[in-house]
Amino acid sequence: MEKKPDFFREVTLCVSLRLSATEMAEDLFTLLRSRMPCELLQMSYIDEDVGELRSLALVEWRNGRRVSQNSSTLFSFPHDVIELIRKGPPGGHRPPRVAVIRVGEKPKRPPSHPALEEGFKRFRLEGYNVAIIDLHIETQHLGALFIAARPPADFTAEHVRMLEDVIEPLSIAFSNARRYEDLLRLKEHLADENRILSQDLSSASGAILVGEFGGLRHVMELVRRVAPLSSPVLLLGETGTGKEVLAHAIHAMSPRHDKPFVRVQCGAIPESLLDSELFGHEKGAFTGATALRYGRFERAHQGTIFLDEIGELTAEAQVKLLRVLQEKEFERVGGSETLRADVRVIAATHRDLQALVREGRFREDLFFRLDVFPLTIPPLRQRREDIPQLLQYFVTRKCRELNLPAPPSPDAETLGNLLSYVWPGNVRELQNVVERALITNRGGPLRFPGLGASAVPPSPAATPAPQAQLPTLDAVTAEHIRKAMCAARGKIQGPGGAAERLGLQPNTLRARMRKLGVPYGRAATRWNAEPEGHA
Element (H, E) at 226: helix 217-226
CB atoms inside a 10 Å sphere around CB 173: 25
Please name which of 526, 513, 523, 521 lies closest in space to residue 480, comparing C-alpha atoms: 513
In this prediction, residue 290 carries a pLDDT of: 72
pLDDT at 135: 87
Give 489's pLDDT tier (boundaries 50, 70, 90): confident
Q: Does the structure show a pLDDT above 60 at 353?
A: yes
Q: Which residues contact 405 (CB under 8 A, 6 or more apart)?
A: 399
**What are the tens digits of pLDDT across the range 229-259?**
999 999 999 998 889 889 988 998 999 988 8
Chain segment 300-309, per-residue pLDDT in tens: 888 999 999 9
Helix (H) or strand (E) holding 234: strand 233-236
Q: Name the phi and psi angles at 79, rounded to 5.
A: -60, -40
pLDDT higher than threshold 50 for residue 530: no
What CATH number is given for 4-181 in this structure?
3.30.450.40
Q: Which of 103-112, 273-282, 480-489 has the lowest mean pLDDT?
A: 103-112
Within 10 angstroms of residue 46's Cβ, the number of other Cβ atoms is 26
For residue 68, with 0-12 CB atoms within 10 Å meaning exposed, 13-18 middle and 19 or more buried, which class applies? middle
CATH of 463-535, one of 1.20.1050, 1.10.3470, 1.10.10, 2.40.320: 1.10.10
- pLDDT greater at residue 29 or residue 46: 29
Ramachandran angles phi, psi of 100, nearest 5°: -115, 125
- The answer to whether the pTM exceeds 0.85 is no
Q: Write the DSSP assignment of 253-293 as a string of letters.
A: HSTTTTS-EEEEEGGGS-GGGHHHHHHEE-TTSSTT--S-E
449 — pLDDT class (breaks 50, 70, 90): confident
pLDDT of residue 467: 42
Which range is least confidently modeled, 123-127, 288-292, 514-518? Answer: 123-127
Task: Find out whether 321 and 296 touch, Cβ atoms under 8 Å.
Answer: no
CATH 1.10.8.60, the chain: domain bounds: 381-458
221 pLDDT higher than 50: yes
Cβ(56)–Cβ(20) under 8 Å?
Answer: no
Give the pLDDT of residue 486: 80
Helix axes 167-203, 4-16, angle to 10 degrees: 0
| CATH assignment, 381-458 | 1.10.8.60
Task: Please determine, for residue 81, whether its predicted confidence score (pLDDT) is greater than 70.
Answer: no
Buried-state track 71-98, b at ≥16 Cβ within 10 A, e below 16: beebeebeeebbebbeeeeeeeeebeeb
More confident residue, 17 or 489: 17
CATH architecture of 204-376: 3-Layer(aba) Sandwich (3.40)
Confidence of residue 28 (pLDDT cuts 50, 70, 90): very high
Q: What is the pLDDT of residue 237?
A: 92
Does residue 462 have a pLDDT over 90? Answer: no
DSSP state of 469: P
Q: What percent of the chain has pLDDT over 70?
A: 77
Q: How confident is the model at residue 163 (pLDDT cuts 50, 70, 90)?
A: very high
- pLDDT value at residue 93: 52
The reported pLDDT for the residue numbered 112 is 46
How far apart CA 264 and CA 25 sit, in angstroms, is 43
The pLDDT value recorded for residue 455 is: 46
What's the burial of 11, exposed, middle or buried (CB within 10 Å: 0-12/13-18/19+)?
Answer: buried
Residue 344 has pLDDT above 90, yes or no: yes
Question: Rounded mean pLDDT of 376-396?
Answer: 89
pLDDT grade, residue 456 (50/70/90)? very low
Contact 377, 237 (CB under 8 A): yes
Q: What is the mean pLDDT of residues 436-464?
A: 62
Which are the contacts of 52, defined by CB distance < 8 A and separation ≥ 6?
46, 73, 74, 75, 76, 77
Task: Determine how β-strand 339-340 pairs with β-strand 293-294.
Answer: unpaired
Mean pLDDT of 435-454: 74
Residues of the chain with CATH 3.30.450.40: 4-181
**What's the average model confidence in pLDDT over 185-196?**
68
Answer for the pair 193, 299: CB distance below 8 angstroms, yes or no: yes
CATH 3.40.50.300 in the chain, residue ranges: 204-376
Average predicted confidence (pLDDT) for the chain: 79
CATH 1.10.10 domain locations along the chain:
463-535
Tell me what pLDDT residue 156 has: 92
User: Range with the lowest mean pLDDT among 48-57, 248-257, 322-331?
Assistant: 48-57
DSSP secondary structure code for residue 350 in this structure: S
The average pLDDT across 507-512 equals 81
Averaged pLDDT, 185-189 = 73
- At 254 the pLDDT is 92
User: What is the distance between the alpha carbons of residues 477 and 517, in angstroms, rounded to a whole number?
Assistant: 11
